[in-house]
Structure 1
Amino acid sequence: MKGMKTHRDHPLWLAYALHRFSGLALAIFLPAHLYVLSLALTDPARLDGFLHWADLPLVKLAEFGLVFLLAAHMLGGLRLLALEFLPWSGPQKSLAASVLAGAFLISGLFFLRAI
Protein backbone atom coordinates (compact mmCIF):
# COMPACT_ATOMS: atom_id res chain seq x y z
CA MET A 1 0.00 0.00 0.00
CA LYS A 2 1.13 3.48 -0.79
CA GLY A 3 2.40 5.51 2.13
CA MET A 4 2.92 2.53 4.44
CA LYS A 5 6.36 2.05 5.90
CA THR A 6 7.83 -1.42 6.08
CA HIS A 7 10.86 -2.81 7.83
CA ARG A 8 12.69 -2.66 4.50
CA ASP A 9 12.46 1.13 4.55
CA HIS A 10 14.81 1.27 7.53
CA PRO A 11 18.36 2.27 6.49
CA LEU A 12 19.92 -0.65 8.37
CA TRP A 13 17.82 -3.23 6.54
CA LEU A 14 20.52 -3.34 3.85
CA ALA A 15 23.11 -4.19 6.52
CA TYR A 16 20.79 -6.96 7.77
CA ALA A 17 20.30 -8.31 4.25
CA LEU A 18 24.04 -8.19 3.42
CA HIS A 19 24.87 -10.04 6.65
CA ARG A 20 22.33 -12.78 5.90
CA PHE A 21 23.40 -13.07 2.24
CA SER A 22 27.10 -13.21 3.09
CA GLY A 23 26.46 -15.90 5.70
CA LEU A 24 24.51 -17.98 3.21
CA ALA A 25 27.16 -17.57 0.49
CA LEU A 26 29.93 -18.56 2.90
CA ALA A 27 27.95 -21.59 4.07
CA ILE A 28 27.61 -22.71 0.45
CA PHE A 29 31.31 -22.07 -0.26
CA LEU A 30 32.70 -23.89 2.79
CA PRO A 31 31.99 -27.49 1.66
CA ALA A 32 33.56 -26.77 -1.74
CA HIS A 33 36.61 -25.27 -0.03
CA LEU A 34 36.98 -28.30 2.24
CA TYR A 35 36.65 -30.61 -0.76
CA VAL A 36 39.46 -28.81 -2.59
CA LEU A 37 41.62 -28.98 0.53
CA SER A 38 40.98 -32.73 0.73
CA LEU A 39 42.46 -33.08 -2.77
CA ALA A 40 45.87 -32.31 -1.27
CA LEU A 41 45.63 -35.64 0.58
CA THR A 42 43.67 -37.75 -1.87
CA ASP A 43 44.57 -36.56 -5.40
CA PRO A 44 47.50 -34.10 -5.61
CA ALA A 45 47.51 -34.12 -9.43
CA ARG A 46 43.87 -33.02 -9.50
CA LEU A 47 44.66 -30.33 -6.93
CA ASP A 48 47.43 -29.02 -9.20
CA GLY A 49 44.93 -28.78 -12.07
CA PHE A 50 42.51 -26.91 -9.84
CA LEU A 51 45.23 -24.51 -8.69
CA HIS A 52 46.13 -23.82 -12.32
CA TRP A 53 42.46 -22.99 -13.01
CA ALA A 54 42.30 -20.87 -9.85
CA ASP A 55 45.06 -18.65 -11.24
CA LEU A 56 42.76 -17.28 -13.97
CA PRO A 57 41.83 -13.56 -13.67
CA LEU A 58 38.09 -14.26 -13.45
CA VAL A 59 38.68 -16.62 -10.51
CA LYS A 60 40.83 -13.95 -8.84
CA LEU A 61 37.93 -11.55 -9.21
CA ALA A 62 35.60 -14.13 -7.67
CA GLU A 63 38.06 -14.48 -4.78
CA PHE A 64 37.77 -10.74 -4.27
CA GLY A 65 34.01 -11.18 -3.96
CA LEU A 66 34.45 -14.06 -1.54
CA VAL A 67 36.86 -12.12 0.67
CA PHE A 68 34.47 -9.15 0.52
CA LEU A 69 31.60 -11.35 1.74
CA LEU A 70 33.79 -12.82 4.48
CA ALA A 71 34.89 -9.38 5.65
CA ALA A 72 31.34 -8.00 5.43
CA HIS A 73 30.03 -10.94 7.43
CA MET A 74 32.73 -10.60 10.07
CA LEU A 75 32.37 -6.85 10.42
CA GLY A 76 28.58 -7.09 10.29
CA GLY A 77 28.73 -9.60 13.12
CA LEU A 78 30.87 -7.21 15.13
CA ARG A 79 28.30 -4.49 14.43
CA LEU A 80 25.55 -6.73 15.74
CA LEU A 81 27.55 -7.54 18.86
CA ALA A 82 28.10 -3.84 19.42
CA LEU A 83 24.37 -3.17 19.00
CA GLU A 84 23.66 -5.84 21.59
CA PHE A 85 26.18 -4.67 24.16
CA LEU A 86 26.78 -0.94 23.61
CA PRO A 87 24.26 1.85 24.23
CA TRP A 88 24.19 3.31 20.69
CA SER A 89 21.45 5.23 19.01
CA GLY A 90 22.22 7.72 16.22
CA PRO A 91 25.48 6.66 14.56
CA GLN A 92 24.29 3.17 13.60
CA LYS A 93 23.84 4.16 9.96
CA SER A 94 27.42 5.45 9.80
CA LEU A 95 28.65 2.26 11.43
CA ALA A 96 26.89 0.15 8.80
CA ALA A 97 28.54 2.23 6.06
CA SER A 98 31.94 1.85 7.72
CA VAL A 99 31.44 -1.93 7.88
CA LEU A 100 30.87 -1.94 4.14
CA ALA A 101 33.91 0.28 3.57
CA GLY A 102 36.03 -1.92 5.83
CA ALA A 103 34.95 -5.06 4.00
CA PHE A 104 35.82 -3.44 0.67
CA LEU A 105 39.23 -2.35 2.01
CA ILE A 106 40.07 -5.83 3.31
CA SER A 107 38.95 -7.59 0.12
CA GLY A 108 40.64 -4.94 -2.05
CA LEU A 109 43.96 -5.45 -0.28
CA PHE A 110 43.60 -9.21 -0.73
CA PHE A 111 42.79 -8.73 -4.42
CA LEU A 112 45.78 -6.45 -5.02
CA ARG A 113 48.06 -8.94 -3.32
CA ALA A 114 46.59 -11.85 -5.32
CA ILE A 115 47.10 -10.38 -8.80
Structure 2
Amino acid sequence: MDTRPRSHPTYIAFLVHRISGLLLALFLPLHFWALSRAIQGEAALENFLRWTDNGLVKASETLLVILLAAHLAGGLRVLALEFLGWRSSQKTLVAASAGVSLAAGLLFLLNVG
Protein backbone atom coordinates (compact mmCIF):
# COMPACT_ATOMS: atom_id res chain seq x y z
CA MET A 1 0.00 0.00 0.00
CA ASP A 2 1.34 3.41 -0.98
CA THR A 3 1.32 5.70 2.05
CA ARG A 4 2.88 8.76 0.44
CA PRO A 5 0.55 11.77 0.41
CA ARG A 6 -0.76 12.97 -2.94
CA SER A 7 -0.01 16.55 -1.91
CA HIS A 8 3.74 15.92 -1.58
CA PRO A 9 5.74 18.25 -3.88
CA THR A 10 7.47 15.36 -5.61
CA TYR A 11 4.10 13.78 -6.49
CA ILE A 12 2.94 17.10 -7.88
CA ALA A 13 6.19 17.30 -9.89
CA PHE A 14 5.47 13.81 -11.20
CA LEU A 15 1.98 14.90 -12.30
CA VAL A 16 3.28 18.10 -13.93
CA HIS A 17 5.86 16.09 -15.87
CA ARG A 18 3.28 13.57 -17.10
CA ILE A 19 0.58 16.13 -17.92
CA SER A 20 3.01 18.47 -19.69
CA GLY A 21 4.25 15.52 -21.76
CA LEU A 22 0.69 14.61 -22.71
CA LEU A 23 -0.20 18.19 -23.64
CA LEU A 24 2.98 18.54 -25.71
CA ALA A 25 2.14 15.31 -27.53
CA LEU A 26 -1.35 16.65 -28.26
CA PHE A 27 0.24 19.85 -29.61
CA LEU A 28 2.35 18.01 -32.18
CA PRO A 29 -0.39 17.56 -34.82
CA LEU A 30 -1.12 21.30 -34.68
CA HIS A 31 2.59 21.99 -35.05
CA PHE A 32 2.84 19.76 -38.11
CA TRP A 33 -0.26 21.40 -39.57
CA ALA A 34 1.38 24.81 -39.10
CA LEU A 35 4.51 23.59 -40.85
CA SER A 36 2.39 22.33 -43.73
CA ARG A 37 1.23 25.92 -44.33
CA ALA A 38 4.76 26.75 -45.48
CA ILE A 39 4.78 23.83 -47.89
CA GLN A 40 1.43 24.85 -49.39
CA GLY A 41 2.73 28.22 -50.44
CA GLU A 42 3.53 31.74 -49.43
CA ALA A 43 -0.09 32.90 -49.21
CA ALA A 44 -1.10 30.06 -46.86
CA LEU A 45 1.91 30.76 -44.66
CA GLU A 46 1.20 34.49 -44.62
CA ASN A 47 -2.41 33.86 -43.55
CA PHE A 48 -1.22 31.58 -40.78
CA LEU A 49 1.39 34.09 -39.57
CA ARG A 50 -1.24 36.83 -39.54
CA TRP A 51 -3.44 34.58 -37.40
CA THR A 52 -0.59 34.09 -34.91
CA ASP A 53 -0.66 37.82 -34.10
CA ASN A 54 -3.85 37.13 -32.13
CA GLY A 55 -3.47 37.72 -28.37
CA LEU A 56 -4.90 34.31 -27.50
CA VAL A 57 -2.31 32.64 -29.72
CA LYS A 58 0.47 34.61 -28.02
CA ALA A 59 -0.82 33.46 -24.62
CA SER A 60 -0.94 29.87 -25.89
CA GLU A 61 2.65 30.15 -27.11
CA THR A 62 3.70 31.33 -23.66
CA LEU A 63 1.89 28.40 -22.07
CA LEU A 64 3.63 26.09 -24.53
CA VAL A 65 7.05 27.42 -23.52
CA ILE A 66 6.16 26.93 -19.85
CA LEU A 67 5.04 23.36 -20.61
CA LEU A 68 8.29 22.67 -22.47
CA ALA A 69 10.37 24.07 -19.61
CA ALA A 70 8.35 22.16 -17.00
CA HIS A 71 8.70 18.93 -18.95
CA LEU A 72 12.45 19.48 -19.36
CA ALA A 73 12.84 20.25 -15.65
CA GLY A 74 10.77 17.18 -14.73
CA GLY A 75 12.86 15.00 -17.02
CA LEU A 76 16.07 16.29 -15.47
CA ARG A 77 14.63 15.59 -12.02
CA VAL A 78 13.86 12.00 -13.04
CA LEU A 79 17.39 11.59 -14.41
CA ALA A 80 18.82 12.96 -11.16
CA LEU A 81 16.74 10.42 -9.23
CA GLU A 82 17.94 7.61 -11.45
CA PHE A 83 21.62 8.44 -11.21
CA LEU A 84 21.96 10.22 -7.88
CA GLY A 85 19.32 8.55 -5.72
CA TRP A 86 16.91 10.16 -3.29
CA ARG A 87 18.12 13.29 -1.55
CA SER A 88 16.55 15.26 1.27
CA SER A 89 16.62 18.34 -0.96
CA GLN A 90 14.05 16.96 -3.44
CA LYS A 91 11.44 19.54 -2.41
CA THR A 92 13.93 22.34 -3.02
CA LEU A 93 14.79 20.95 -6.44
CA VAL A 94 11.08 20.71 -7.33
CA ALA A 95 10.54 24.34 -6.30
CA ALA A 96 13.62 25.45 -8.24
CA SER A 97 12.49 23.63 -11.38
CA ALA A 98 9.03 25.20 -11.11
CA GLY A 99 10.63 28.62 -10.78
CA VAL A 100 12.88 28.04 -13.79
CA SER A 101 9.89 26.89 -15.86
CA LEU A 102 7.87 29.98 -15.00
CA ALA A 103 10.87 32.23 -15.61
CA ALA A 104 11.34 30.70 -19.08
CA GLY A 105 7.70 31.42 -19.89
CA LEU A 106 7.93 34.99 -18.62
CA LEU A 107 11.12 35.65 -20.58
CA PHE A 108 9.41 34.33 -23.69
CA LEU A 109 6.41 36.56 -23.00
CA LEU A 110 8.67 39.61 -22.70
CA ASN A 111 10.29 38.82 -26.07
CA VAL A 112 7.03 38.11 -27.91
CA GLY A 113 5.85 41.75 -27.89
Structure 1 residues 1-115: aligned runs within 5 Å: 5=3, 7-115=5-113
Unaligned runs of 5+ in 1: none
Q: CA deviation at 1:7?
A: 4.6
**Between Structure 1 and Structure 2, how many residues are aligned?**
112
Residue type at the aligned position of 1:111: L
Aligned 8 A contact 2:37 2:48 in 1: no
Higher deviation after alignment, 39-48 or 62-71:
39-48
Change (3 A) 1:108 1:11: same
Aligned 8 A contact 2:9 2:94 in 1: no
Identity %: 48
Q: TM-score with structure 1 length normalisation?
A: 0.89
1:60-115 Cα distance to aligned partner (Å, 9 max, x none): 11111000000000111001100110144210011011111001111111111011
CA distance in 1, matches of 2:42, 2:56: 23
CA distance in 2, matches of 1:9, 1:61: 28
Residue aligned with 1:35, SS = helix
Residue type at the aligned position of 1:51: L
Q: Give 4+ residue runs of structure 1 displaced > 3 Å after superposition.
A: none
Residue aligned with 2:9, SS = coil
The Cα RMSD (Å) is 1.7
